[in-house]
Amino acid sequence: MAMTMTQKILAAHAGLESVKAGQLIMANLDLVLGNDITTPVAINEFKSNGFEGVFDKNKIALVMDHFVPNKDIKAAQQCKQCRLFAKSFNIKNYFDVGDMGIEHALLPEKGLVAPGDCVIGADSHTCTYGALGAFSTGVGSTDMAAGMATGKGWFKVPSAIKFNLVGELKPHVSGKDVILHIIGMIGVDGALYRSMEFSGEGLKSLSIDDRLCMANMAIEAGAKNGIFEVDEITLAYIGERVSREYTVYSADPDAEYDETYTIDLSAIESTVACPHLPENTRLARELGDVKPDQVVIGSCTNGRISDMKAAAEILKGKHVADGVRCIIIPATQSIYKECIKRGYIDIFIDAGCVVSTPTCGPCLGGYMGILAEDEIAVATTNRNFVGRMGHVTSKIYLASPEVAASSAVAGKIVDPTEL
Amino acid sequence: MNANGFVHKYGDNVDTDVIIPARYLNTADHKELASHCMEDIDKDFVKKVNDGDIMVGGANFGCGSSREHAPIAIKKSGISCVIAKTFARIFYRNAINIGLAILECPEASERIEAGDNVAIDFDTGVITNITKNETYQAEPFPEFIKDIINSDGLLNSLKK
C-alpha cells in the first residue's frame, strides 16, 4: 500500500511492512528529548513509577535552555534536578550552561538527528527536525518518562497534507514568511493531528535554516509533524555532522494526501502574524502604523546563523529607532561564536541592540525581555498568544528576522524593501 | 465512571499559555500550578471552581506548548472533565496520560453555556445538560483509556 514519507518512517520503526492512517502502532525511538521545564515533571513520573534505568544513555538529550542561566531559585532547583538525573544515569547528551543552546537549534547542529529517525521530545517544537527528513513530534512529560525508560512510544499514524513548493524566494523573504503564509491560509488547526509534507522543485531555494524554521512552526497549524523531502541540501548539512548510518525515506509517488496545496514561493511577500494567533497574517507593508516597544530576534524558530546574517545586513551602519529595545539571541554557542567572527556582534551593539547568551527566555515570557502593560513586540518567535511574552494586555507580532530588524530601525513595522 | 458539575465555558483556541502561563513553570508542584490555572483569560476561575466542575471549550482546545503542566493545572483545580469541539493533539495525549477525562463533542461545545449543570456518563458517552434538559452524544472511551483515567494516569495504569 502506498505510504507518505511519515508513514514509511513510522512503519520501519514499528517493524511493519506498511501502515495506514488511523492505525495505532508502537514504534522504536531514536532520540528522546526534554528541557529544564518538562524534564522535572518526567523525572518525577519516572521515579514514582519505579523505573530503574534508561533504555539507552546515548539516545536521550536533556537541554537546559528555557530558564537558563537560571532565572530564579525555583528554576535553579529544576535544573539541579535534571543535572543529578543526567549524572545518575550517565546521560551522554546533557547540555548545561557553557555548552547548551536552544534545543531545536542545538540538536541538528550537534548531529543528533538524522534523516529517517523517529524522535519524540517533551517540547512542542520538536517537530523542527522534520526539516532533516526525520519523523519528529512533541509529546508531554509522561510520554517522555515512558520513552526514556522503554525506548518506545505509541502513535496514531497520521494522514498528511502535501505542500508542493514551486518557484524561488524573492530577496528579503525567508522560510518564516512562507510558513506564516501557510498558517494564515490553513489556520491554527488546519493540520490538526496530521503531517505537513513539503516537497517540490521550490525546495532548491530553501536553505536548511529556512526549512528548520518552517518545520518548527508546523505545530502552529496543529500538525503532528512537518517533514521535508531529503535532497542535496539536506545531505550536505547532515554529511558534516552525522557519522552514524541512517536511511533516507521518500513518499511513494501514489501516496494518498487529504489535500495538496501548490505554493509559489516567488509570490510570497514579507508576512506578519498579528495578535493573538499565528493565523492572523497580514503583509508587512499593509500593517500601517504599528510601533514596537521591543524587538526580539532569536528563538528555536529564528536564532540560527542565517537569521543573524539577515539581521546584521539590515542593522549594519544603522541605529534602532528611539524608544525601541532590540534584543538579539543567537541560539547556540557556535552560532554566537560565528557572529563574533563575522563581526555581527559589533554591528548589533553599534546599532543599539543587546545580545544575550542562548536562552528561550523572552519567547515564552520567562525572562530576559518581558513586556509591560499594553506594550507591543515584534518577534521572530513562534507564538503570539495572549500574555505569551509578559503582561496580559501586551501584543506580539510574529515576523522574519528581516522584518524584525527593519522594524527596529524604522520604529514601526515595515517591509524590508521599504527601509 | 461519571461526572456531574457546573460549567466554566471558553471559546476557540484556548492555548496552554493561558491555561498555565510560562512564568509559573519554574515549579512542577501540582497545587501551585492549579492556583494559577486560567488566570490570563479568567482571573476568577480559581476562586469560582468547585470539585467536580466541568470545563467546556470550542475548537483546538489546548493548542500551543507541550507542557503537561496545563492538564495537570486543570485537573488539580478540581475539574472532572473537559469537553471541546476539538483538542490540539499534544494536549489530548497529555490529558489522558495524566488521567484527566476529556471528550470531543461539537454539539455539546456549542449548546452548553457557562453555569449549566452537566452530567457525563463515560460508559455511554452521553452528556446530559440538566439545566437545559438536553443530551448530547460523545464517543465513549475505549476500555484502555477508561483504565488510564481510573488509575490516575498512564504510568499508574502500567504498574498494575
Interval A79-92: pLDDT, tens? 999 999 999 999 99
Give the other-Cβ count within 10 Å of A73's Cβ: 9
**Burial label, A119 (beta-carbon count in 10 A; 0-12, 13-18, 19+):** buried
Distance from C-alpha of A218 to C-alpha of A126, rounded to nearest angstrom: 10
Q: Compute the nearest-CA separation of B59 from chain A (Å).
A: 8
B 19-48 → A contacts, CB under 8 A:
21-23, 25-28, 40-41
Residue of A189, A216, A219, A395 to mutate for B, most B C-beta atoms under 10 A: A189
Distance from C-alpha of A205 to C-alpha of A200, rounded to nearest angstrom: 11
Delineate the domains of chain A, giving CATH numbers in brackets.
5-264 (3.30.499.10), 272-418 (3.30.499.10)
**Burial label, A207 (beta-carbon count in 10 A; 0-12, 13-18, 19+):** middle
Domain count along chain B: 1
Which chain B residues contact residue A366 at CB under 8 A? 22-23, 25
Q: Compute the nearest-CA separation of A222 from chain B (Å).
A: 6
Give exposure, B123-160, as e/b (b: 16+ Cβ within 10 Å).
Answer: eeeebbbeeeeeebebeebeeebbebbeeebbbbbeee
Using CB atoms, pick whichever of B23, B68, B88 lies closest to residue A142: B68
What count of CB pairs under 8 Å joins A to B?
125
Cell numbers at A389, concatenated:
511574552
The model's pTM: 0.97
| Counts of helices then strands in chain A (DSSP H, E) | 13, 18
Which chain B residues contact residue A38 at CB under 8 A? 66-68
Give the CATH number, domain containing residue B19.
3.20.19.10
Q: What is the mean pLDDT of chain A?
A: 97
Structural domain that includes position B105? 2-159
Interval A39-85: pLDDT, tens? 999 999 999 989 999 999 999 999 999 999 999 999 999 999 999 99
Q: Which chain A residue lies closest to B154 (C-alpha atoms)?
A: A142
Peptide bond preceding A69: is omega within 30 degrees of 0, i.e. cis? yes
Kindly tell me the sign of the dihedral angle through the C-alpha atoms of A159, A119, A127, A236: negative
CB within 8 Å of B128: residues ≥ 6 apart: B118, B119, B120, B121, B134, B135
Using CB atoms, pick whichever of A37, A145, A192 lies closest to residue B155: A145
ipTM of this predicted structure: 0.93
B65 inside 8 A of chain A by CB: yes
Q: Which of B152, B94, B160, B17 is nearest to A41 (CA)?
A: B94
Q: Which of A183, A185, A176 is nearest to A219 (CA)?
A: A183
Give the other-Cβ count within 10 Å of A254's Cβ: 8
Q: Compute the nearest-CA separation of B36 from chain A (Å).
A: 13
What is residue B87's DSSP assignment? B
**Burial label, B104 (beta-carbon count in 10 A; 0-12, 13-18, 19+):** middle
Which chain A residues contact residue B156 at CB under 8 A? 49
Cell numbers at A19, concatenated:
501502515
Q: Would the CB atoms of A142 and B94 count as touching at under 8 Å? A: yes
Using CB atoms, pick whichever of A40, A122, A388 lies closest to residue B66: A122
A24 inside 8 A of chain B by CB: no
Arithmetic mean of pLDDT, B109-113: 98
Per-residue pLDDT of chain A (419 residues; tens, 9 = 90+): 899 999 999 999 999 999 999 998 999 999 999 999 999 999 999 999 899 999 999 999 999 999 999 999 999 999 999 999 999 999 999 999 999 999 999 999 999 999 999 999 999 999 999 999 999 999 999 999 999 999 999 999 999 999 999 999 999 999 999 999 999 999 999 999 999 999 999 999 999 999 999 999 999 999 999 999 999 999 999 999 999 999 999 999 999 999 999 999 999 999 999 999 999 999 999 999 999 999 999 999 999 999 999 999 999 999 999 999 999 999 999 999 999 999 999 999 999 999 999 999 999 999 999 999 999 999 999 999 999 999 999 999 999 999 999 999 999 999 999 98
